[in-house]
Amino acid sequence: MDDVSYPVQPQRTPQPRPAEQGGQSLEDVSSVIIENVSHELRTPLSVMLGYASLLHDGALGALTPEQQRAMSAIVNRADEMRSLVTRLGILMEAEAGLGDVQEVALDEIVRDVITAKEADAERADVKVEQEIDDGIPLLIGNILQLREAISALVDNAIKFTPPSGTVTVKLHADSEWVYVEVADTGIGMHEEALKHIFTPFGKAHSSTRHYGGVGLGLSITRSVAKRHKGNVVAESQPGKGSRFTLRIPLDSPERRTDSETAPRPLRRILVVDDDPNVSFTIQSVLQKLPDCEVIAATSSDQALQYAAQQPFDLVFTDYKMPNMNGVELTKAIRALNPTTLVMWITAHGGRDVEVEARQLEVHRYLTKPLDIAGIRQTAQEALKSHR
């Protein structure tokens, strides 16, 4: 499952052009549609996945074997939809800008991606080999975007390599660039097809539809490369496989200088969302954490009543709520207890959200649809790091 816990990063909020400036291009219109569809899917998917995961794990009662199989199918399909929406969000973020940057160990990312793809490779009967040079320099970049870009290359190679084939992932560097090469012994492509593979929702040709996917992965890789002042090159021949080379410069953008204050140890957790289904789901998941009291509120007023009684160590709050939104609630809670760690839950990010989050020192924001395991992991990591 993809991690849904994101350091504060910008997402593009498409703005309609005035009529006097001329009509929108097809690419602009597509971006607006993608952004809006992604936004509308996040909240219902979060509820679906939350309840499905609780049922699947037996948290709401034991299931018969037949019910367990049915729930497994529901969870798997819903998670595929969540993964698609997550990729749409990453694509929009990469198109909008670099976002939050830090030191990145690309060798660790490559190894993590290969490990994460082991099950897929085993099911496809494809061998994945790695050749990672020692001493790969750290670079400055967006770790989430880079991970997704590399993951898309490896995923694509496995998908289009027949059984008993091989995918080789290489990582090396020179004085100016870091190179990630992903080569496969797959079906390959004609030169004409190479012109379209980096287009969102583009596919090399209609015969590849049975391989699955919607054609987002390589467009994400291209956008991420571009935002990191690098590029990605594809080489291929029909029947002889393909090679993709992602190149990122070592003189990457300046690292962030924002001071980071260590949050205090987590003990009391407050979940605030005007949708009771969302707040109940998150509360149910976080209650499994050791040494934590988790309280759910369905309004900002109720949340403030709880916060006034006793301070919370961590607050998960929906960004957009009636009467008092997440920004106002954050300020009010901080007035009661300045050390409270706040995380926002949002179905629709944007530069305004990013700016507000930085100004208020919001620790992270989580994008819908929510990855249940990701929320729990986010809280656990905070517990371990700041005891």
pLDDT at 349: 66
47: in domain: yes
Query: Do 74 and 109 sit in the same domain of this protein?
Result: no
Do 243 and 261 fall within a single domain?
A: no
* Same domain membership, residue 360 and residue 331: yes
Tokens describing residue 31: 């971006």
pLDDT band (50, 70, 90) for residue 8: very low
Helix 26-56 to helix 276-286 angle, to the nearest 10 degrees? 50
Q: Is 340 helix (H, G, I), strand (E, B) or coil?
A: coil
Same domain flag for 40 and 146: no
Range(s) of the domain holding residue 125: 102-249
State how beta strands 341-346 and 364-367 pair.
Answer: parallel
Q: Per the domain annotation, does 116 fall within a domain?
A: yes
Where does a domain end: 204, 228, 249? 249
Q: What total number of domains does the chain contain? A: 2
Please write down the HEC assignment for all residues of 194-245. Answer: HCCCCCCCCCCCHHHHHHCCCCCHHHHHHHHHHHCCCEEEEEEECCCEEEEE
pLDDT of residue 247: 94
When pLDDT is cut at 50, 70 and 90, the band that residue 33 belongs to is: low
Answer yes or no: is 289 within a domain.
yes
Residue 229 has pLDDT above 70, yes or no: yes
Query: Partners of 102 in the beta sheet?
Result: 141
| Position 386 confidence tier, pLDDT thresholds 50, 70, 90 | low
Buried b (16+ CB within 10 A) or exposed e, 226-252: ebbebebebebeeeebbbbbbbbbeeb
Does residue 36 sit in the same domain as residue 121? no
Model pLDDT, residue 97: 61
> Do both 279 and 309 map to the same domain?
yes
For residue 19, being part of any structural domain is answered with no
How far is the C-alpha of 128 from the C-alpha of 140, rounded, in Å?
Answer: 27
Q: Which residues of 80-114 are buried (b: 16+ CB within 10 A; e: fewer)?
A: eebebbbbbbbbbbbbbebbbbeebebbebbeebb
Query: Are residues 362 and 380 both part of a single domain?
Result: yes
pLDDT at 365 (0 to 100): 80
Q: How far is CA 286 from the centre of its chain?
A: 20
**Domain-ending residue, one of 249, 280, 314:** 249
Token readout for 87 is 């990729």
Rounded to a whole number, what is the distance in angstroms from the first to the last CA of the chain?
27
Residue 387 has pLDDT above 80, yes or no: no
Grouping H, G, I as helix, E, B as strand and the rest as coil, residue 184 is: strand
Q: Do 227 and 299 share a domain, yes or no?
A: no
In this structure, what token pair is assigned to residue 203? 């596919």
* Helices then strands, each counted (H, E), the chain: 12, 13
145-159, 161-175, 180-194, 337-351 — which is least confidently predicted?
337-351
Residue 277: per-residue pLDDT:
83
Is a pLDDT exceeding 90 seen at residue 172? Answer: yes
Q: Are strands 166-173 and 177-184 parallel, antiparallel or unpaired?
A: antiparallel
281 shares a domain with 191:
no
- Element of type H or E holding 304: helix 300-309
- Specify the pLDDT at position 253: 45
Distance CA 151, CA 323 (A): 41
Residue 214 covered by a domain: yes
Question: Are 225 and 119 found together in one domain?
Answer: yes
pTM for this model (two decimals): 0.53
Q: Which of 242, 237, 221, 233 is CA-nearest to residue 161?
A: 242
In this structure, how many other beta carbons lie within 10 angstroms of the beta carbon of residue 278?
24
The CATH number given to whatever domain includes residue 177 is 3.30.565.10
Domain boundary among 223, 249, 275: 249
Q: Is the pLDDT of residue 46 over 70?
A: yes
Q: What CATH number has the domain bearing residue 284?
A: 3.40.50.2300
Residues 300 and 228 grouped into a single domain = no
How many residues are recorded in the chain?
387
